[in-house]
Amino acid sequence: MSIRINDLTVRFKNGVVAVNKASLEIPKGIYGLLGENGAGKTTLMRVLTTVLKQTEGMVSLDGILYNEGNYEKIQKKIGYLPQEIDLYPNLTVKECLVYMGGLSGVARNDLEQRIPYYLEKTSLTEHQNKKMRQLSGGMKRRVGLIQALLNNPDFLIIDEPTTGLDPEERIRIRNLLVDFSKDRTVLFSTHVVEDLAATCTQLAIMKKGSFLYSGSVSGLLENAKGCVWNCTVQNAEEARLLEANYSISSKQYVENGIHMKVLSKGKPNENCVLDNDITLEDAYIYLTNS
């Protein structure tokens, strides 16, 4: 299972070019997608799910070209959790999943096995008879994820799956996705960099409709090597000076002043010490701001 995207462009009627000649190959496993607000991630995912037609360029899924004649075939292979999903408020969790599974053409027998399995995996078994409108935001998100998994898709596209989840549930969902990605492709878009660090080895970073980076997480970390500095300053004025001149990936008030993680090619000042413990967040901020 692999997805190829060649010179993809999406231009909206109002002239906004949300995706601009973007090319990418998404292999098997979990593949991360990062990018600032408005970078074009959702637009790209909407094309990949066939909800939106590209203006130019080519997309293929396991060799099947994205064109209207193939949309039905492609849709059968895809599961999608959109950023905003409003599921039927008056149905119970279970009724909602049975209904949505039916809409996706999943056989009744399969639904009878898969629904209890995923309810258990997402800690929703005890809530299955509650009406959708009675659920918390995080629970609704988990039901949304189950509906995307019900047709056992080869290609799962998930937009912010962990938004609103408590830390324990976030970890559970991440692990569920890792297990699910064995022999399949999962495109995982999120602003929670930590979730990608815990699940992916490959990722792409979008900026203004194009890919600024695509490749291994280790390659991205390597790119920031020698550019992350630990600096402790004595007062707010010194901190402001650093903030005015560099990207800062963290800031903390400590006993002896203000500790800051400064991203810079050269040493910001003589009191700064090179930090070799680079996080994905440091590497992402370094790349997108340099």
Ligand X SMILES: Nc1ncnc2c1ncn2[C@@H]1O[C@H](COP(=O)(O)OP(=O)(O)OP(=O)(O)O)[C@@H](O)[C@H]1O
What residues line the site for ligand X (CB under 6 A)?
A: 12, 14, 16, 18, 35, 37-43
Helices of type H across the chain: 41-48, 71-76, 93-103, 108-121, 137-149, 167-180, 193-199, 217-223, 236-245, 280-289
Query: What is the smallest separation between the CB atom of 17 and ligand X, expressed in angstroms?
Result: 8
Residue 74 pairs in a beta bridge with: none
Nearer CB in complex with ligand X: 45/262: 45
**Backbone φ and ψ of 137, nearest 5°:** -55, -45
Nearer CB in complex with ligand X: 38/226: 38
Nearer CB in complex with ligand X: 35/268: 35
Nearer CB in complex with ligand X: 56/120: 56
**88 neighbors 134 (Cβ within 8 angstroms):** no
Nearer CB in complex with ligand X: 34/115: 34
Query: What is the smallest separation between the CB atom of 39 and ligand X, expressed in angstroms?
Result: 4
Nearer CB in complex with ligand X: 39/220: 39
Nearer CB in complex with ligand X: 48/111: 48
Query: What is the smallest separation between the CB atom of 34 and ligand X, expressed in angstroms?
Result: 9
Query: What is the smallest separation between the CB atom of 123 and ligand X, expressed in angstroms?
Result: 27
- Eight-class DSSP state of 236: H
**CA 116/CA 122 separation, integer angstroms:** 10
**Nearest Cα residue to 191 out of 201, 178, 206, 177:** 206
Residue 230, burial from CB neighbour count under 10 angstroms (0-12, 13-18, 19+): middle
C-alpha 246, offset from chain centre = 27
Query: What is the smallest separation between the CB atom of 220 and ligand X, expressed in angstroms?
Result: 18
Query: What is the smallest separation between the CB atom of 74 and ligand X, expressed in angstroms?
Result: 20
Query: What is the smallest separation between the CB atom of 143 and ligand X, expressed in angstroms?
Result: 21
Query: What is the smallest separation between the CB atom of 9 and ligand X, expressed in angstroms?
Result: 12
Length of the chain: 290
**CA 231/CA 254 separation, integer angstroms:** 12
Does residue 32 come out as left (phi exceeding 0), alpha (psi in the -120 to 50 range) or beta? beta
The amino acid at residue 229 is W
Q: What is the dihedral of CA 280, 281, 287, 290, to 10 degrees?
A: -150
Nearer CB in complex with ligand X: 38/257: 38
